[in-house]
Amino acid sequence: MNAKTQFPPINLLLLDLIGALMVALGIVETTDPGVFLDRENLFAYYNWVLIVIGSLLMLPMVLHMIKRAKQQAAGTGVKTVDRD
């Protein structure tokens, strides 16, 4: 393997980390409300909002990885299968 390993951009890593923490916090607050955040000071369904926003923050990293995988597959001659 002669391909040089490239590290993902730091901004995508930070977005992914923040998103993962928000998703984790949202899941914990969904299963056991009031563990980390005070429910009285927050709006209704705050836990679901944390999960959705955290997932959206993690999306750019996922798209970046998919793009890199397609570029590597095209560069190495590996055939990809289109599923219609």
The conformation of residue 63, written as its DSSP 8-state character, comes to H
- Work out the pLDDT band at 71, boundaries 50, 70, 90: confident
The conformation of residue 47, written as its DSSP 8-state character, comes to H
Q: Determine the Cα–Cα distance for residues 53 and 61; give it in Å rounded to an integer.
A: 14
Answer whether residue 76 shows pLDDT above 90.
no
Count Cβ atoms below 10 Å from residue 66 Cβ, excluding itself.
Answer: 10
Mean per-residue pLDDT, 3-7: 70
Could you tell me the sign of the dihedral formed by the alpha carbons of 64, 9, 60, 52, in that order?
positive
- Work out the pLDDT band at 81, boundaries 50, 70, 90: low
Residue-wise pLDDT for 26-59, tens only, equals 999 999 888 888 877 888 889 999 999 999 999 9
Count Cβ atoms below 10 Å from residue 62 Cβ, excluding itself.
Answer: 13
pTM (two decimals) = 0.76
- pLDDT computed for residue 25 by the predictor: 94
